[in-house]
Chain A
Amino acid sequence: MANSFLSIEKLTQRYPDGKGGEFTVFENASFGIEKGEFVCILGHSGCGKSTIMNILAGLSEPTKGVVKMDGFAVSGPSLDRGVVFQNYSLLPWLTALKNVTFGVAARFPDWTKQQVEDHSIAFLDKVGLSGDAIHRKPSQLSGGMRQRVSIARAFANEPKLLLLDEPFGALDALTRGTIQEELLKVWSGTDQTVFMITHDIDEAILLADRILLMTNGPLARVAESVEITISRPRVRTDIVEHPNYYAIRNHLVQFLGKRSAELAGQVSAEGETHSPETVRIDKTQDAAGEQPLLQAVKT
């Protein structure tokens, strides 16, 4: 884990609780993400997902612990770590295209104006935005189109790590479905490493290589790392037929429904590292042998 592309080591976040004491959101959380991996993190509100995201983005500082990318400790925001915020965070006085060129020009300062624009248009096209729409202001675009612009802005910058903070949270279910597919399409052409927060189990299964499960806060921890043993490319309508789909889904539902609360609030011994337990559910192999449905592999 220590030599992962991105490694989160003994991350602890505490806030003053207003009564002179301290409130620990999470403690000694450690996990790693490999290059090119798509990792989703699932957990209830208040377990510190967004805090982890902000620390990875460099927008806030942890109380303790380090985040290392490519072996170097991360401090402060950087163009190497792109962020897609839940509320799109497009600049409303710029057109969709200008919002993307804004980012690209910051990322590649020695490019000509034409290069910046061509690059931006290409990425807007990848998320299905072209023609007249890219010259409109965000207020003239639908929520789905705005989030597409935001995704295009993040991908066009080609960051080493892409952070998505519940990017589809504010969208209706149908729009969400299409944009998830756009996201998969854009991502599959790259070796982009993605870390995404979500509340949606089906979304996580569709998109992720691995899902990190967090217990409830306070004293939350990343308890499990569930591998998604469904081969790519994935199509929403096909993966539900996959033998592993419901097994994984049930595991996730059980965790979020019951075990996340049972595992919550465990005070750890000094210096103890909370690494997630790797869970691999693969029923395609179970059909041959008489193996248990659920295997826990301690790493």
Chain B
Amino acid sequence: MELLSENKRAAIWSVLLLFVGLFVWEMSISAQAINTGELTEYELLTGAGTAKAGVPPPSEVAVKAWQELSNPFYDAGPNDKGIGIQIGYSIYRVLTGYFLAAIIAIPLGFLIGMSSVAYKALNPFIQVLRPISPLAWMPLALFIIQDSEASAIFVIFICSIWPMLLNTAFGVAGVREDWVNVARTHELGAFKTAFTVVLPAAAPTIVTGMRISIGIAWLVIVAAEMLVGGTGIGYYVWNEWNNLDLTSVIFSILMIGVVGMLLDAAFGLLQRRVAYVE
């Protein structure tokens, strides 16, 4: 007997797990007792009487989140900007680097997918460049570009280009011969064939590559911004760590997760739109 649908039961379990998790977190922290006994002068001087800086309980994080999210776009100087502004900077960098990568990777992927000579000629370069950690480019980028903002964008560019390039090439090379023959028997030109047959046929694979890329780009931007500093969610995390404000650190970690999820969901939606069943 099934009283509730699968989705509803799963949702109940999710909520339950959340509350159990938060409860355990809250309890384990309030259990850390503060030394309230008789203290010597030396102990008072070294701060033994005050609470040790510890991991904040979820209730504090929730209060912090409420404060930050109710006024996300305030700007009170270089080290005090709203979470909305910081995330905005990060998203701007990610999208700029990402779309620059897409503009190059997708046409180049088409070429590699269509021509086995181009594939064989470019493959050694791709294989060497692809495994390089994007952050390893940072010193070189900073030296050549001489601008931290542009260097962060370059790092995003270089890390998101590979999945898009390889997936586009793979998708284009895998387009069924029959479909290309349909285009040929209908006397479609090269451009018409590319746009009306090859592109829709390869679109699911291409969008999968784009989805992987945006995920990687969002992972990398946090690390890149920790290095370049100034603005962005990565910088914010590191800055709050320097302030020893762990509540803000936990809050911003959660925000990174939520934004990453939304970016992925957007591409998931696109993926469903271009999907087809053979």
Contact = CB atoms under 8 A, between A and B. Distances in A.
Count chain A CB atoms within 10 A of each CB in B181, B186, B188 and give the residue with the most.
B186
A157 B187 CA distance: 12
A78 B187 contact: yes
B187 A89 contact: no
B277 A92 contact: yes
Given A85-B178, A85-B181, A87-B178, A93 B276 contact: yes
Interface string B194-234: 00110011010000000000000000000000000000000
B278 interface: yes
B276 A106 contact: no
Contact of A82 (B185, B196, B197): B185
Interface of B: 178-179, 181-182, 184-188, 196-197, 200-201, 203, 274, 276-278
Contacts of A82: 185
Contacts of B184: 58-59, 77
Contacts of B179: 89, 91
A137 interface: yes
A148 interface: no
B273 to A, nearest CB: 10
A91 B186 contact: no
28 contacts: A57-B185, A58-B185, A59-B181, A59-B185, A77-B184, A78-B185, A78-B187, A79-B185, A79-B187, A82-B185, A83-B185, A85-B178, A87-B178, A89-B178, A89-B179, A89-B181, A89-B182, A91-B200, A92-B276, A92-B277, A93-B200, A93-B201, A93-B203, A93-B276, A106-B186, A106-B188, A137-B277, A139-B276
Interface in A44-98: 57-59, 77-79, 81-83, 85, 87, 89, 91-93
Contact of A91 (B185, B197, B274, B277): B197
A137 B276 contact: yes
A92 B278 contact: yes
Contacts of A139: 276-278
Interface residues of A, number: 22
Interface of A: 57-59, 77-79, 81-83, 85, 87, 89, 91-93, 102-103, 106-107, 137, 139, 157
Nearest to B182: A89
A195 to B, nearest CB: 14
B235 to A, nearest CB: 43
B192 to A, nearest CB: 8
Contacts of A57: 185
A222 to B, nearest CB: 24
Given A92-B278, A106-B187, A139-B276, A83 B200 contact: no
Nearest to A150: B182
Nearest to A159: B185
Given A58-B184, A77-B187, A91-B200, 10 more contacts: A77-B185, A83-B181, A85-B181, A91-B179, A92-B278, A93-B276, A103-B186, A137-B276, A137-B277, A139-B276
